[in-house]
Structure 1
């Protein structure tokens, strides 16, 4: 059942015929007849008695008319409320996140926001995970995407967003001869990573800490070299065949799509890290911040669905198609 069927049904009731409804709605009669037939089939009841003069409601049809009018009135009221809510959503919202998360989220998030909440200005504050955590604790940002579970004490809303997979990345055409065989691998045990030199971000960041903890558990020592300050510079170096790095697909999705870089699965164990979404306590009543918070959840689900952001989606609100959309979530 959909609103089009309800509108066609009520127009037919009011005009007393399908031809009359056709004129009022400016819709071809066969289209109206088809929608009414589909509605009756779905409800498994006969709504109209048909004769040469037109149509008249059956007893069941009269009962359904009351419900149809109530449903459409509620939908129209909701639309008006949402329009009002969108006008309330205005102002600047600052999102703090790492370079890899900004890489995967920023374009789609900004595009959707401009389309759906044009009065909201979105600013990204990008830095290492430990800096994002500090900004959030000091109320310098409104929303944080981070890896630290302890930040929930500063948050009005907090939820695990995704458990992202980590991969070893290599160029399809490595320049280093020692990488030639590795470039053919589909997977590699974590313990074997000790045989290769890896680019490593600042050791205060979440990723090096995770890798070092796993190396200690596995009884190995990883050989590392300092990554370049900017993520894209490091990945460009890797794509040119001069190095190796461990990242989530959020950092590399654009390079993978253009086949400039390829992922090797890490096994024994698989490496994952959880990404958390936090809304600052001092902004919990701000409609614009709430709108961006919800839109990040929806965008993350979309990116997970199209394989740009690989891992286990932990926030399932927008995983499946739903009649509840971002605007209604903000309004509610």
Structure 2
């Protein structure tokens, strides 16, 4: 038994005539008759009583028409539900963020998404770009903001998002006396300092080393740490200086506990991209979160233009 058989049977029952049903269906009468006969043979019962004036339902036919009405009602309901849900944006979305951008956008992004998309369950996951790209490749996040230097183009689809500037950051107690505290520091000078840096796996470290190389220098001495929280604690405790984006030290800088100096000759800037996996198309909810990230980033930078060293490369 299939839906076509039930449909033909329902129209025969409704019109009380195979001839009238075939005209309504725009199907040849013999084809409708054969379909009804086939249905009766399959079920082993007569569904219609045929007479010169048309057809009437048998007891078995009455039972089948009630069941077929329920089937068609369920189909109409399913169609309505699917069509209504097509306009809804809901579901779980995991967004991977580098710490420097996460601390800048997370509160505003959560507020925006909870208001604009209350049916999206947004999960924020934070780590260095190297780790976040691994999450994206394995499906632990749906989309991510990544350092362009970490991208594997064979697995990751990337679109330009922003650039951010790296600063030499440390406490006044260990700030080198020959360096100004209110001006830029050259890359060559920064390379001579005892630095606290991420390990070579991460894009932040390669951004630093590439700038040093362009200045004819290299990292002289470094404490390598794969934790932003530990780097912050070590810097705050006077173990050395670091080179990282300013938003990571937002509260300490605003409180005057640390100093941040831009780096020149060359400036240290990294490119950030919005990254997705070639293997998994974005859901509507993930597409909405991507648009929300761009929108909220624009709002933040309109309120505090250039304060944190970010420049967006994507329109709102």
Indicate the TM-score class for this superposition, using the shorter chain for normalisation.
0.5 to 0.7
Q: Secondary structure at the match of 1:161?
A: strand
Q: Is the 8 A contact 1:97 1:129 kept in 2?
A: yes
> Could you say which residue in structure 1 is the equivalent of 2:246?
249
Question: Are 1:197 and 2:200 an aligned pair?
Answer: no
Question: Which whole-Å deviations, capped at 9, do the CAs of 1:294-313 have from their partners, x for residues lacking one?
Answer: 01111222233314542332
Change in Cα spacing, 1:195 to 1:109, as seen in structure 2 (3 Å) is same
> Could you say which residue in structure 2 is the equivalent of 1:132?
132
> Could you say which residue in structure 2 is the equivalent of 1:141?
141
Question: Are 1:213 and 2:202 an aligned pair?
Answer: no
Q: Is the 8 A contact 2:197 2:231 kept in 1?
A: no
After TM superposition, give the deviation of residue 205 of structure 1 in Å.
0.6
After TM superposition, give the deviation of residue 245 of structure 1 in Å.
0.5
Q: Secondary structure at the match of 1:88?
A: coil
TM-score norm. by structure 2 comes to: 0.65
Structure 1: segments with no counterpart, 5+ residues: 1-83, 319-332
Aligned residue runs from structure 1 range 27-176, under 5 A: 88-148=88-148, 150-151=151-152, 153-154=154-155, 158-171=158-171, 173-174=172-173, 176=174
Question: Which whole-Å deviations, capped at 9, do the CAs of 1:69-118 have from their partners, x for residues lacking one?
Answer: xxxxxxxxxxxxxxx78972221111122222222222221121112211
Q: Secondary structure at the match of 1:184?
A: coil
Question: Are 1:310 and 2:285 an aligned pair?
Answer: no
CA RMSD of aligned residues (A): 2.5
Which structure has the greater CA radius of gyration? 2
Count of paired positions: 230
Q: Is the 8 A contact 2:162 2:310 kept in 1?
A: yes
Change in Cα spacing, 1:86 to 1:121, as seen in structure 2 (3 Å) is farther
Change in Cα spacing, 1:270 to 1:85, as seen in structure 2 (3 Å) is farther
Q: Is the 8 A contact 1:90 1:121 kept in 2?
A: yes
> Could you say which residue in structure 2 is the equivalent of 1:268?
265
Question: Which whole-Å deviations, capped at 9, do the CAs of 1:194-229 have from their partners, x for residues lacking one?
Answer: 321111111111111122223233222222322444
The CA distance in 1 between the partners of 2:86 and 2:266, in whole Å, is 46
Q: Secondary structure at the match of 1:94?
A: strand
The CA distance in 1 between the partners of 2:159 and 2:194, in whole Å, is 35
Structure 2: segments with no counterpart, 5+ residues: 1-83
After TM superposition, give the deviation of residue 129 of structure 1 in Å.
1.5
Deviates more, 1:179-188 or 1:138-147: 179-188
Change in Cα spacing, 1:213 to 1:155, as seen in structure 2 (3 Å) is closer
Q: Secondary structure at the match of 2:213?
A: helix
Change in Cα spacing, 1:281 to 1:195, as seen in structure 2 (3 Å) is closer
Q: Secondary structure at the match of 2:244?
A: strand
> Could you say which residue in structure 1 is the equivalent of 2:228?
231
The CA distance in 2 between the partners of 1:106 and 1:132, in whole Å, is 16
The CA distance in 1 between the partners of 2:148 and 2:191, in whole Å, is 27
